[in-house]
Amino acid sequence: EPEVTQTPSHQVTQMGQEVILRCVPISNHLYFYWYRQILGQKVEFLVSFYNNEISEKSEIFDDQFSVERPDGSNFTLKIRSTKLEDSAMYFCASRDRVAGNTIYFGEGSWLTVV
């Protein structure tokens, strides 16, 4: 069964450093997302991306965050200058046009900022 894959599975970074989280969405999907879950909290929407542009973003997704689809397969989340409170599990997700709003998630990238 096709799946969303994410790398790295775990990254430790120093505060202030830039981090890039990578995702390969399901191949025929057109809509891409990043969500995150801080330990002990619920899963939160960050951003949605369609047709090479951001279609919606949350208040969390400030100027420190950016997304990119540099080629036909990868979808990346960049955090320019990480803060301690960015420590979370980051989930990439995707969906196709036909499946309604059923979104399929990757395994997650656990980011620890120290």
The dihedral sign for the CA sequence 22, 89, 5, 105: negative
Residue 108 is a binding residue for another protein (CB under 8 A): yes
Smallest distance, Å, CB 112 to another protein?
A: 13
SS3 86: helix
The CB density around residue 34, as the number of other CB atoms within 10 Å, is: 27
56 near 48, Cβ under 8 Å?
yes
Cα 67 to chain centroid distance, Å, stands at 8
Scanning residues 50 to 79, which ones bind another protein (CB under 8 A)?
50, 55-56, 58
In this structure, are residues 26 and 42 in contact, taking their beta carbons and an 8 Å threshold?
no
Stretch that binds another protein, among 11-19, 48-56, 70-78, 80-88 (CB under 8 A): 48-56
Interface with another protein (CB under 8 A), residue from 24, 30, 60, 89: 89
Residue at 34: amino acid letter: W
Closer Cβ to another protein, 16 or 106, answer by number: 106
Binding site for another protein (CB under 8 A): 4, 6, 31, 33, 35, 41-45, 48, 50, 55-56, 58, 89, 91, 93, 100-108, 110
